[in-house]
């Protein structure tokens, strides 16, 4: 690990100022469950680490007329305990599925959203594009956990965030602060992620000196239902092979609006418009859920070792749809 300065600001403005120095060669520390490992492995080598955990305004959940402002420091345990977040079932299901008390008490929503990919080539120092001597290590190597969608460009990793699919299905936005003092942007989370095209690009729109301070969730209506279905190899702490989150607006048993978002299948969370359009103005049945799953993966282009993920992603979508309307019990 390289030496770095350590700063612990009390306010968002102080944090932005501290992140701007050293030409933006700085890093945000939240729960630290991933960043500490990245620092130890020299995969991230900032000149200053800015620990944002003392910033009160970035904690807690606040209700406003049109929705909720959720602090980026909200931990997974806070998600499980918050009466205001409880109706957003698809989010609570993600927090609950972590099955690791240390991570649930320390890991934050902001840290989850900005979690760097778990691609083993990236984690062994080959960069996000995993290139060696001009060749993609993913294409020729072990790509069993890599992307099956959105993988025609140089990025083949899968986005690591577990909460992003559910948040995007709810139409969440992120409040980004910096790099200039008082600079604030509110961006739909759907547009926060990018699939890098060159080695000097990251996997989000965050520029040096910026951080997420809050996540905005729209107010929930009585007709809204949601669910997340994650496929994991282990019962305990694990990274999903594929996930699906759906949010539906159901009136009189008919789906009026739908959002379907897959996770761990592409370099960004994958919004499936094809799947959502099949649900609109329909009553959910198992046959329809099957067709929605098939539509979600209809454009999949698996790599040499990950064809199996297509079926898993399809099933995750089908089960998320059925789970959202309370039809998952038994027989699946
Ligand atoms: C040994 C170990 C194994 C794990 N395995 C799994 C697993 O199998 N499955 C799983 O789901 N989770 C796993 N995790 C947990 C995962 O790291 C956390 O769930 C969470 O995603 C990270 O949150 P954090 O607050 O600790 O982030 P940090 O480690 O503090 O930060 C993560 C990244 O986000 C950036 N960041 C943090 N907050 C912000 C912000 N507000 N704005 C901008 N950037 C920010 C950091 O700079 C860093 O790059 C594991 C953790 C550990 C320690």
Percent of the chain exceeding pLDDT 70 equals 99
Please write the tens of the pLDDT for every residue from 264-307: 999 999 999 999 999 999 999 999 999 999 999 999 999 999 99
The helix (run of H) or strand (run of E) holding residue 149 is none
Asked whether 114 lines ligand 1 (CB < 6 A), one says yes
C-alpha 32 – ligand 1 centre gap (Å): 6
* Residue range 134-139: mean pLDDT, rounded: 94
Q: What is d(CA 261, CA 280) in angstroms, rounded to the nearest whole number?
A: 15
Asked whether 103 lines ligand 1 (CB < 6 A), one says yes
pTM of the model: 0.97
Q: Is 18 inside any structural domain?
A: yes
Last residue of a domain, one of 50, 68, 83: 50
Handedness of CA 167, 173, 177, 182 (dihedral sign): negative
pLDDT band at 330 (very low <50, low <70, confident <90, very high): low
pLDDT at residue 170 in the model: 98
What number does the ligand 1 atom closest to the CA of 29 have?
30
Q: Is 93 inside any structural domain?
A: no
Report in angstroms the alpha-carbon separations of 250 from 268, 293, 324: 28, 19, 10
Q: Which residue's CA is the nearest one to ligand 1's atom 38? A: 111
The helix (run of H) or strand (run of E) holding residue 310 is helix 308-324
Q: How far separated are the first and last CA of the chain, in Å rounded?
A: 48
- Domain CATH code at residue 258: 3.30.390.50
Q: Is 26 inside any structural domain?
A: yes
Query: What 3-state DSSP class applies to 278?
Result: helix
C-alpha 175 – ligand 1 centre gap (Å): 18
Q: Is 213 inside any structural domain?
A: no
Q: What is d(CA 304, CA 326) in angstroms, rounded to the nearest whole number?
A: 36
Asked whether 176 lines ligand 1 (CB < 6 A), one says no
Q: Is 246 inside any structural domain?
A: yes
Q: Which domain holds residue 300?
A: 224-324
**Residue 22 clears pLDDT 70, i.e. is over it:** yes
pLDDT at residue 331 in the model: 39
Handedness of CA 130, 132, 137, 141 (dihedral sign): negative
pLDDT band at 99 (very low <50, low <70, confident <90, very high): confident
Asked whether 106 lines ligand 1 (CB < 6 A), one says yes
Please write the tens of the pLDDT for every residue from 156-193: 999 999 999 999 999 999 999 999 989 999 999 999 99
Burial class of residue 214 (count of CB atoms within 10 Å of its CB; 0-12, 13-18, 19+): buried
Task: Name the residue with tokens 């460009």.
Answer: 153
Last residue of a domain, one of 34, 50, 66: 50
* Residue 211, CB-side half-sphere exposure with 13 Å CA sphere: 32
- Domain CATH code at residue 31: 3.30.43.10
Query: What 3-state DSSP class applies to 178?
Result: coil
Asked whether 72 lines ligand 1 (CB < 6 A), one says yes
Asked whether 208 lines ligand 1 (CB < 6 A), one says no
Asked whether 73 lines ligand 1 (CB < 6 A), one says no
Q: Is 131 inside any structural domain?
A: no
pLDDT band at 237 (very low <50, low <70, confident <90, very high): confident
User: Strands 61-64 and 67-71, how do they pair?
Assistant: antiparallel
Q: Is 219 inside any structural domain?
A: no
CB atoms within 10 A of CB 59: 17
User: Do 12 and 213 contact (CB within 8 A), yes or no?
Assistant: yes
For residue 184, what are the contacts with CB-CB under 8 A and spacing of at least 6?
A: 175, 176, 177
Q: Which two tokens stand for residue 166?
A: 């559910």
The helix (run of H) or strand (run of E) holding residue 37 is helix 35-40
Last residue of a domain, one of 10, 29, 50: 50
Looking at every residue in the chain, the average pLDDT score rounds to 96
Q: Is 201 inside any structural domain?
A: no
Domain count, the chain: 2
Report in angstroms the alpha-carbon separations of 50 from 24, 32, 54: 11, 11, 10
Asked whether 263 lines ligand 1 (CB < 6 A), one says no
Pairwise pLDDT comparison (262 vs 101), residue with the higher score: 262
């Amino acid at each position: 690990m390289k030496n770095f300065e350590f700063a612990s600001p009390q306010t968002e403005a102080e944090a932005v100022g501290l992140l701007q120095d050293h030409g933006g060669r700085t890093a945000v520390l939240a729960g630290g469950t991933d960043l500490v490992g990245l620092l130890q492995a020299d995969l991230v080598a900032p000149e200053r680490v800015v620990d944002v955990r003392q910033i009160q305004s970035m904690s807690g959940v606040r209700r406003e007329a049109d929705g909720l402002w959720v602090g980026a420091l909200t931990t997974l345990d806070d998600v499980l305990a918050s009466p205001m977040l409880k109706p957003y079932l698809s989010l609570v299901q993600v927090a609950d599925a972590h099955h690791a008390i240390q991570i649930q008490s320390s890991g934050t929503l902001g840290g989850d959203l900005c979690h760097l990919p778990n691609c083993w080539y990236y984690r062994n120092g080959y960069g996000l594009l995993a290139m060696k001597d001009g060749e993609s290590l993913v294409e020729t190597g072990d790509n069993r956990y890599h992307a099956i969608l959105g993988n025609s460009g140089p990025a083949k990793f899968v986005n690591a965030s577990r909460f992003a699919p559910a948040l995007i299905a709810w139409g969440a936005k992120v409040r980004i602060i910096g790099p200039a003092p008082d600079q604030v942007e509110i961006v739909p989370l759907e547009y926060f992620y990018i699939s890098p095209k060159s080695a000097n690009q990251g996997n989000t729109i965050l520029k040096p000196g910026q951080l997420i301070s809050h996540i905005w969730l729209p107010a929930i209506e009585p007709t809204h239902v949601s669910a997340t279905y994650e496929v994991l190899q282990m019962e305990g702490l694990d990274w999903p092979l594929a996930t699906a989150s759906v949010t539906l607006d159901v009136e009189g048993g008919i789906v009026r609006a739908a959002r379907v978002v897959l996770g761990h299948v592409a370099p960004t969370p994958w919004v499936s418009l094809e799947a959502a359009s099949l649900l609109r103005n329909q009553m959910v049945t198992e046959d329809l859920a099957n067709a929605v799953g098939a539509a979600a993966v209809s454009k999949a282009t698996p790599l040499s070792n990950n064809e199996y993920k297509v079926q898993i992603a399809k099933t995750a979508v089908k089960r998320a749809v059925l789970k959202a309307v309370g039809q998952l019990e038994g027989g699946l």
